[in-house]
């Protein structure tokens, strides 16, 4: 046997050194040269479609707080994964996304399965996109991909690798490097921010997804309590960063320019940490800030610092910034705490299907374990979920960062796999709309194969309810394609190997959910629900 390493061996050694021993993917002929003789100390997580493979990896990386490797099938597989890639980019998830490519020898004549203009396809939803100029550069390209992916703001990167590269001799062992993943905020500017915060009469604190991602949940709470100021979450948050049952918590910001303006009115200073200024959805015109309101903004992401239409930004670690601000700011001892958020818990009598969304979440609030994670993709019932299932712990709420649906089902699978990898035992509760359930439905097969502790609660209202609300708001009557008749979701779920149940009452929902908690694997609970039109203001 020759003692010269192949590029394949050098790359696996590098991945091992970087702790990247789980590969999420869906294989094809252009990937088999990489996957051959798959090492025993690596795990391959098969997804039946690439949108699922990528979003499972996203959930895994979010749960473990570490990067993950995805292996896709040339152009077609990468194309299938694009929607999930956008969510990973928006959520700053460090992923090394790889795709096989046809043999270098043949590329010029455009053979079957060529990934033409391979580096263009995933753009602009990757931080870096590359096909090594020569086979010998493959291991170092992985090292560079890792360095780009994990440095703030973290995000996905893409490598295209011709299938014949793996067998060639490596130049030597791959060079293993380290890079920093933290950026200390500029002290002088942070001091200036601290002075402005101390001088404010009626500050409002907005804590966004970066705080939870940075592991800075406690730092956010400490800062809020030091300030004694009201706290808001951002609209459509992909992570929850502040206990939603905390007395200072006032709910999420609205989704429109005009709506946000109204909520900010009366605050002389808005302090936004770890969020975009702001996440808007429907267009309702207005001024970004009310007269007399100033805004300061701390984010890990220079892109978010640049796109903010108002305010003064500072780039750096949100955890570090929060901890230092907590030391530096002063707040008047007689500051009056805001009245705690009033939750209207309309309790319903035991009922038969179709249930209201309110009744569904009321039941879930009684049976969901306190430590369970929630993955949310039930677009018209966000308010009911927040009302009944407030997130009270770090790393416990996940939603799409992009607004694309089809992320939640596979992400729940990834979160559960990530929990298992980090030795955490908890249930993942995925509340999913009947429309959203269809986009990456294949991921439930992966959940069943791995016997993951997930309870999918599918709210079957038979429609794209949120789009009906949007049509009213935008005054666009007559939009076709908003109803979903004839979908037998339980049969689909059974077909993918999941425990499945249709429930016809609140009692049955409570009973079946409780049974699902003890099941050895995932359960899909289908709940017929009433059509309802959520408020989008
Ligand atoms: C990939 C993708 N395709 C289409 C949409 C547009 N879209 C937004 S919400 C929605 C309907 C979701 O329906 P459902 O999951 O049943 O939730 P409901 O509104 O009924 O609660 C659609 C199709 C999207 N966001 N992402
Ligand atoms: Mg629906």
CB atoms within 10 A of CB 532: 16
**Which pLDDT does position 1 carry in this prediction?**
47
Nearest Cα to 367, choosing from 489, 527, 534, 528?
Answer: 527
Residues in Cβ contact with 287 at an 8 Å cutoff, skipping those fewer than 6 apart:
257, 261
Sheet holding 203-207, edge to edge: 249-252, 231-233, 203-207, 269-273, 294-299, 312-315
d(Cα 99, Cα 116) in Å, to the nearest integer?
12
Which atom of ligand 1 approaches the CA of 461 most closely?
A: 20
d(Cα 30, Cα 99) in Å, to the nearest integer?
8
E strand intervals along 129-191: 129-130, 157-162
What is the tens place of the pLDDT at every residue in 45-90?
999 999 999 999 999 999 999 999 999 999 999 999 999 999 999 9
Which residues lie with the beta carbon below 6 Å from any ligand 1 atom? 83, 378-381, 403-406, 433-436, 439, 461, 463-467
Q: 533 C-alpha to center of ligand 2: Å?
A: 11
Query: Are 59 and 239 contacting, i.e. CB atoms less than 8 angstroms apart?
Result: no
Query: Are 496 and 438 contacting, i.e. CB atoms less than 8 angstroms apart?
Result: no
d(Cα 93, Cα 213) in Å, to the nearest integer?
9
Nearest Cα to 204, choosing from 222, 183, 229?
Answer: 229
- Residue of 50, 466, 489 to mutate, ligand 1, most atoms within 8 A of C-beta: 466
Own/partner pairs for 339-344, CB < 8 Å, 24+ apart? 340/247, 340/249, 341/249, 341/250, 341/251, 343/387, 343/390, 344/387
| Residue 529 burial (C-beta neighbours within 10 Å; 0-12, 13-18, 19+) | buried
Nearest ligand for residue 465 CA: 1
Residue closest by Cα to atom 25 of ligand 1: 404
**Which pLDDT does position 537 carry in this prediction?**
61
Q: b/e map of 206-228 (b: 16 or more CB within 10 Å)?
A: bbbbbbbbbebbebbbbbbbbbb
Pairing of strands 397-398, 428-433: unpaired
Which atom of ligand 1 approaches the CA of 357 most closely?
A: 21
d(Cα 372, Cα 488) in Å, to the nearest integer?
28
Which atom of ligand 1 approaches the CA of 463 most closely?
A: 20
pTM: 0.97
Pairing of strands 294-299, 312-315: parallel
Residue closest by Cα to atom 26 of ligand 1: 404
d(Cα 161, Cα 74) in Å, to the nearest integer?
9
Residue closest by Cα to atom 17 of ligand 1: 433
Q: 480 C-alpha to center of ligand 2: Å?
A: 15
Residues in Cβ contact with 60 at an 8 Å cutoff, skipping those fewer than 6 apart:
22, 24, 45, 68, 414, 415, 417, 418, 421
Residues in Cβ contact with 285 at an 8 Å cutoff, skipping those fewer than 6 apart:
257, 258
Three-class SS state of 131: coil
Three-class SS state of 314: strand
d(Cα 232, Cα 274) in Å, to the nearest integer?
12
Nearest ligand for residue 51 CA: 1
Name residues of the chain where pLDDT drops below 70: 1-2, 535-537
Nearest ligand for residue 441 CA: 1
- Residue of 405, 407, 531, 532 to mutate, ligand 1, most atoms within 8 A of C-beta: 405
Residue closest by Cα to atom 21 of ligand 1: 380
Tell me the two tokens of residue 474.
Answer: 């935008």
Nearest Cα to 75, choosing from 107, 113, 48, 30?
Answer: 113
Is the preceding peptide bond at 105 cis, omega within 30 degrees of 0? no
d(Cα 294, Cα 204) in Å, to the nearest integer?
10
Nearest Cα to 209, choosing from 123, 132, 300?
Answer: 300
What is the tens place of the pLDDT at every residue in 206-249?
999 999 999 999 999 999 999 999 999 999 999 999 999 999 99
Which atom of ligand 1 approaches the CA of 404 most closely?
A: 26
**Which pLDDT does position 2 carry in this prediction?**
58
Three-class SS state of 416: helix
Query: Are 331 and 227 contacting, i.e. CB atoms less than 8 angstroms apart?
Result: yes
Q: How far apart are the first and last CA of the chain?
A: 69
Q: How many CA atoms lie within 13 A of 354 on its CB side?
A: 12
d(Cα 26, Cα 87) in Å, to the nearest integer?
19
């Amino acid at each position: 046997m020759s003692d010269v390493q192949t590029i394949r061996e050098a790359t696996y050694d590098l991945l091992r050194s970087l702790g990247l021993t789980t590969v999420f993917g869906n294989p094809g002929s252009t990937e088999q040269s990489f996957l051959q003789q798959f090492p025993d100390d690596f795990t391959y997580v098969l997804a039946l479609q690439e949108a699922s493979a990528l979003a499972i990896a996203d959930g895994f990386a979010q749960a473990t707080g570490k990067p993950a490797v995805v292996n896709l099938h040339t152009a077609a597989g990468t194309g299938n994964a694009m929607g999930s890639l956008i969510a990973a980019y928006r959520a700053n998830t460090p992923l090394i996304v790889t795709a096989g490519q046809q043999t270098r020898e043949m590329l010029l004549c455009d053979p079957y399965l060529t990934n033409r203009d391979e580096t263009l396809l995933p753009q602009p939803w990757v931080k870096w996109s590359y096909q090594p100029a020569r086979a010998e550069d493959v291991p170092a390209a992985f090292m560079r991909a890792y360095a780009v992916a994990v440095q703030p703001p973290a995000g996905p990167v893409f490598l295209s690798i011709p299938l014949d590269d793996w067998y060639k001799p490596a130049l030597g062992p791959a060079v293993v490097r380290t890079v920093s993943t933290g950026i200390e905020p500029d002290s002088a500017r942070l001091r200036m921010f601290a002075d402005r915060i101390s001088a404010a009469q009626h500050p409002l604190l907005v804590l966004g997804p970066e705080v939870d991602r940075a592991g800075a949940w406690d730092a956010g709470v400490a800062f809020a309590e030091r300030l004694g100021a009201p706290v808001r979450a951002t609209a459509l948050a992909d992570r929850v960063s502040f206990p939603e049952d905390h007395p200072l918590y006032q709910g999420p910001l609205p989704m429109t320019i005009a709506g946000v303006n109204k909520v900010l009115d009366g605050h002389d200073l808005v302090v936004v940490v770890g969020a975009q200024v702001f996440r808007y959805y429907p267009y309702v015109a207005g001024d970004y800030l009310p007269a007399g309101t100033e805004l300061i903004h701390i984010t890990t992401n220079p892109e978010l610092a640049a796109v903010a239409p108002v305010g003064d930004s500072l780039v750096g670690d949100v955890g570090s910034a929060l901890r230092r601000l907590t030391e530096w700011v002063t707040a008047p001892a007689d500051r009056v705490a805001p009245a705690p958020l009033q939750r209207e818990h309309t309790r319903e009598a035991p009922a038969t299907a179709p249930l209201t969304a309110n009744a569904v979440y009321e039941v879930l609030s009684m049976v969901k374990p306190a430590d369970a994670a929630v993955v949310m993709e039930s677009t018209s019932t966000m308010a009911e979920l927040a009302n009944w299932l407030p997130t009270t712990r770090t790393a416990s709420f996940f939603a799409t960062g992009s607004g694309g649906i089809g992320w939640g089902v596979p992400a729940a699978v990834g979160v559960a796999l990530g929990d298992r990898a980090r030795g955490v035992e908890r249930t993942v509760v995925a509340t999913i709309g009947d429309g959203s359930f269809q986009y990456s439905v294949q991921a439930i097969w992966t959940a069943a194969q791995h016997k993951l502790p997930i309870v999918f609660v599918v709210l079957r209202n038979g429609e794209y309810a949120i789009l009906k609300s949007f049509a009213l708001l935008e005054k666009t009557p007559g939009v076709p394609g908003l109803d979903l008749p004839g979908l037998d979701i339980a049969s689909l779920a059974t077909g993918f190997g999941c425990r499945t149940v249709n429930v016809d009452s609140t009692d049955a929902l409570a009973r079946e959910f409780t049974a699902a908690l003890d099941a050895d694997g995932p359960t899909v609970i289908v709940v017929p629900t009433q059509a309802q039109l959520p408020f989008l203001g």
